[in-house]
Chain A
Amino acid sequence: MKKYIARRVLISFLTLLVIILILFILMQLLPGSPFNDERLTVEQQTMIMNKYGLNDPLPVQFFRYLQNMLVGDFGKSYTISKDTDVAILLQNRLPISLALGGISIVLGAAIGLFLGVFSALKHNTVWDSVSTFITVLGVSIPSYVFALGLSYYFGFQLKLFPMLFSPADGTNAYLLPAVALSMTVMATVGRFTRTEMLDVLNSDYIQLVESKGVSGPRLVITHAMRNASISILTVLGPLVVSLMTGSLVVEKIFSIPGIGQLMVQAIQSNDYNIIISLAFVYSALYIGVMLVVDILYGVLDPRIRLAKGGSNG
C-alpha cells in the first residue's frame, strides 16, 4: 500500500510538471498581452514586458518559473493586483473558496445521502416521489439560480442573512452561497445513493444478512451503505474539486473574494502568473482528491486493497 501511494504521488508530480509546461505553451496562444493597453506605445509595452522577463525565450521563462515555484514564489500579478505576489492572492482567497466548497460538499453530501437512503428504503411511496422531485430540481436548476433566489428571499426580503459576503459575518456569510452550491451535490449524491441502495438492498447478500436476523440501522449502515458508497465516492470526487476551486457565478452574486472569479479575470486580462498558479492549484487539488478517493476505495472495499497490494508484491 505504501509503495502504491508513493508511486501515485510520483506520477502526480510528473503530471503536474507536464500540466505547467502545456499551460506555458497555451498561454503564448492567448490573444493580447497583459500590457496591450491602448495608451501604451509598442516601445512602452516592450519596456514593461522586459521588466517582467516576458520577452525571454519560452524555455528560459519556463525553467525560471519552475525554479521560483520550488521555493514558493509563484510570480507577481501583472494587472489584477499590480506587482503583488500571486502567493499572497492565493493565501487570501484560496481558504475562502476551500471553506465554501467544503461546507457545500458536507452539506450537500449529508442531505443527499439522507434523501437517497430514505427514498430507497421507502421505495415507490409518496416519500420516494417527493425526494426524487427534490433531487431532480437540484440537478436541473443551475446553482446561480438558487444563489439569486436565496439572496433575494433570505437576504433582501426577509433580511435573515447578509446579501453580500463579508468575512466579518463568520459562518453566516457562508451559509447562503454554500446552500446554493450544495444543491448540485445534494441532487447528484441523492440520485446515485438511491439507485445504488436499491441495487444493494435487492442483492442476494443483503437478503442473506437479513435472513440471519440483522435489521434496522445496522443493516442499512454497515451492510448496505458500505457497498453503495463505492460508486457514491466516484461521483463525489470530481464534485469536491469543482466546488473547492470556486464557482464564478455564485462568487459574483455574493461578491465572494474566491478563486473562481480570480481565474476568469486573470484569463481576460492575461495575468499569466495567476492563471498558471491557479491551474496548478486546480490540478494539484484534483490529483490529490483522486488519490484520496483511490485510497478510500481500499478502505471501504478490502477486495480492492488486496488486489493492489498483491500486484505490488
Chain B
Amino acid sequence: MIKNKRLSLLVTGFASMMVLAACGGANSDGAAEDVAADETAGGVLNVQVDVEVATMDPQMATDGTSFEVIANTIEGLYTLDESGVAVPSLAEKTDVSEDGLTYTFTLKDATWSNGTPVTADDFVYAWQRLADPDTASEYYYIMGIAGVVNADEISAGEKDPEELGVTAIDEKTLEVKLNHPVPFFESLMAFPSFFPMNQAFFEEAGENYGTSADTLIANGAFEITSYEPAATTIELEKNPDYFDAENVSLDGIKYQVIKDTQQAMLSYQNGDLDVVTLAGEQVDLFKDDPEFQTIQAGYLWYISPNTKVPGLENANLRKALGQAFDKEYIAETVLKDGSNAADYMIPEGLAVDPEGVDFRETTGTYLEFDPAAAQEALELAKEELGKDSFTFTMIIEDTESSINVAQVLKSQIEENLDGVTVEIEQMPKKTRLDRMNVGDYELALTRWGPDYADPMTYADMFLTDSGNNKGFWSNAKYDELVNSSLDGELSLDPEARWTALQEAESIILEDAGILPVYQKGNAVMVKSNVTGVDFHTVGVSRIVKNAVKE
C-alpha cells in the first residue's frame, strides 16, 4: 500500500512539474511570506485535531475536541494535573461535610475576560442550565451522576432548575448538596460540563454565543482570538488576566483541523505542527523516532453478546468466544497504535483506589486468550445446549480499525473453536447503535469511553435495568453490589465500595457478560522542544495549557 502511494506520488510529481511549466510559475513571492511567518511563531503551540469544534458552550459540548479547546479558555473548580488527578483550580478551599453530602467551595479571585469577577453565581447559572431539560444538553445526565440534589427530578421535568442543590452562599462561596456521597465528585469538577458561565455575557450574546471570537468569554489560561463555527483554524492568545498567568509559558495556541493523516504528518515534519496524532499504518514508520510516544486512552472495545439470542444465553459458550482470540496480537500487530490487550472491564489508568493505587493493580485479569480453555468451555456448551455447531453474526462499524479487528476475531474464533462460525456485518456507526438499542444483533463489536474517573462509569452500564445494557446480561449479585456502591450503603464506605466494584468486575467477566478485546491507545508525535502536553484517559483528554515550547 505504501509502495503504491509512493509510486503515485512519483507519477504526480512528474505530472505536476508539467503543470507548473504550463502555469509559468504563477506566484513566486509566496515563499518569502511563509518564511517570515515561521520565524514569528516562537511561543505558539501548533496542535493538530482531526475534527472541528462542535460547540464552545461548555454546557452543550460532548466531544473531545470541543472539551480540549474549551478547557484552554475556561477554568472550573478543579483541573487535572499531569497524572490525571483532579487538583483545585478556581477552588481555593474545599470543605466536605462529614457525611460527604455537602461540598463548600471557596473561590479564588479570578476575572472573566469582560472584566467581571468569577463568582459562585456563575457556577449556579451554568449548572442549572445544564440540568434544565429546556437546554436539552446531551450531557445533562452527568449532574445526576454527580449526585446533586434534585438533578434527576429537574431533568425529568418534575422540578424547576432553581431547585437544583447548588447555592451561592455569597459571591465567593458555593455550596453543593448531594443525595449520596460521590467518591469521584472532585474529579467530575474538572469536567467541562461543570465549568462556570458568566450569565450577563452569555445572555447578551444569546443565540450568537460562540459564533466568533467576540462572542466568547474566557476566565482561563487563553483567550480565543480567531474563531468561527466549524472553523478549521482556531487561534488562542495568552490571557494576561488569568489568575495563574505567571505559570503559563506559551504565548498562544493554534489548532489546525487536518483530517488526512498523511498530510498531518507531512505538516508535522514541515515544522507547521508541534503535536500530531498518527494513524495505525504510520506507526511502523515512526515508532523509533524519539518524538514518538503512545498514550493510553480510556476507551474499552469489547464484544457485546446478546444473551437473548439462542446459544448466547449459555455462559460457557460466551466464555469460549471470549477466550478464543489473541488480544495481544490484535493490539500489537493489527492496531499498533499503543492499544493494549484488555483482560478486564475497567481500563488501566482510569481510577485510583482510596490509597491512590490504580484499580487495575488491585485486581486480577479475566478471559485471557487461551485456546485450550476456550475449546473446553465450548465442549461443555455443546453438551448443555445439545448442539454441535453455532453461527453468529457480529455487527461492526465501517471504520478501518473495526474492520481489521473484526476480521482477526472471526478467523481466530473459527480456528480455535470447532463448529463456531462468525459472520461479519458492516454498517455505519449510527446504524450499529440503532441496532444495538433495539437488541437487534447477536454479537456486536462496540466501545465505551469513561465519563469520570471511577469504575462506576463502566460498572453501572451492565445493571439489569440500565439502558446501556444492550445484551440484556443480568446477575442479581452484580446488581446488588453496583447499586449499593452507586447510592446505597456501600457508597458511604470507600474501601468496602472499592472491594465491591472489584467483585462486580469479576462477576461479569467470569460469566462473560461482555468479552473485552482491547483498550484503545493513541500514537502521537510531540516535538522534542515541547514539554508539558498532558494526555488523560478521562475528561479532557489532552491538556496543553501547561506546555512549554523552547
Binding site for B on A (CB under 8 A): 31-33, 35-42, 44, 47-48, 50-51, 77, 79-85, 88-89, 92-93, 107, 111, 134, 137, 141, 145-146, 148-156, 159-166, 169, 171-172, 175, 179, 183, 252-257, 261-262, 268-270
Contact = CB atoms under 8 A, between A and B. Distances in A.
A164 B60 contact: no
B12 A81 contact: no
A141 B207 contact: no
B245 interface: no
B30 A148 contact: no
B52 to A, nearest CB: 7
26 contacts: A31-B434, A33-B430, A33-B434, A38-B448, A39-B62, A40-B138, A51-B136, A79-B54, A82-B54, A82-B57, A84-B55, A92-B228, A92-B229, A92-B231, A137-B18, A146-B12, A149-B9, A149-B12, A152-B12, A153-B16, A156-B270, A163-B263, A165-B232, A166-B233, A255-B258, A262-B230
Interface string B108-145: 00000000000000000000000001101011110000
A55 to B, nearest CB: 13
Given A149-B13, A160-B28, 12 more contacts: A33-B434, A38-B436, A38-B446, A39-B139, A42-B437, A81-B229, A88-B229, A92-B228, A92-B231, A134-B22, A162-B30, A169-B33
Contacts of B22: 111, 134
Contacts of A149: 8-9, 11-13, 15-16
Contacts of A134: 18, 22
Interface string B50-67: 001111010011100000
A91 to B, nearest CB: 9
B259 A252 contact: yes
Given A166-B233, A253-B263, A38 B27 contact: no
Contact of A261 (B28, B55, B259): B259
A192 to B, nearest CB: 18
A44 B207 contact: no
A49 to B, nearest CB: 9
B60 A255 contact: no
Interface string B1-15: 000000011011101
Interface residues of B, number: 71
A54 to B, nearest CB: 11
B353 interface: no
B179 interface: no
B272 interface: yes
Contacts of B23: 107, 179
B262 to A, nearest CB: 8
Contacts of B30: 160-162, 169, 172, 175
Nearest to A146: B12
A179 B30 CA distance: 16
B138 A35 contact: yes
Interface string B164-176: 0000000000000
B519 interface: no
B433 A172 contact: no
B434 A32 contact: yes
B434 A171 contact: no
Interface centre among B256, B260, B262, by most A CB within 10 Å? B260
B266 interface: yes
B136 A255 contact: no
Q: Which 6 pairs from chain A and chain B are nearest by CB? A: A149-B12, A32-B430, A82-B55, A41-B467, A31-B431, A81-B229
B320 to A, nearest CB: 27
Contacts of B11: 141, 145, 149
B267 interface: yes
A30 to B, nearest CB: 8
A295 B197 CA distance: 56
B138 A48 contact: yes
B19 A80 contact: no
A34 B428 CA distance: 13
Contacts of B433: 32, 36-38
A35 B139 CA distance: 12
Contacts of A39: 62, 138-139, 141, 451
Interface string B439-454: 0000000101001000
Contacts of A270: 430
B257 interface: yes
Contact of A80 (B13, B60, B230, B437): B230
Contacts of A85: 207
A146 B232 contact: no
Contacts of B207: 83, 85
Contact of B8 (A145, A162, A172): A145
A63 to B, nearest CB: 23
Contacts of B285: none
A152 B9 contact: yes
A129 to B, nearest CB: 14
A156 B340 CA distance: 34
Interface in B210-239: 210-211, 228-233
B20 interface: yes
A143 to B, nearest CB: 10
B62 A37 contact: yes
Contact of B27 (A31, A44, A175): A175
Interface string B446-472: 101001000000000000000110000
Given A80-B230, A149-B12, A179-B19, A159 B34 contact: yes
Nearest to B431: A31
B20 A154 contact: yes
A31 B136 contact: no
A277 to B, nearest CB: 13
Nearest to B18: A134
Contacts of B15: 137, 141, 146, 149
B207 to A, nearest CB: 7
B428 A268 contact: yes
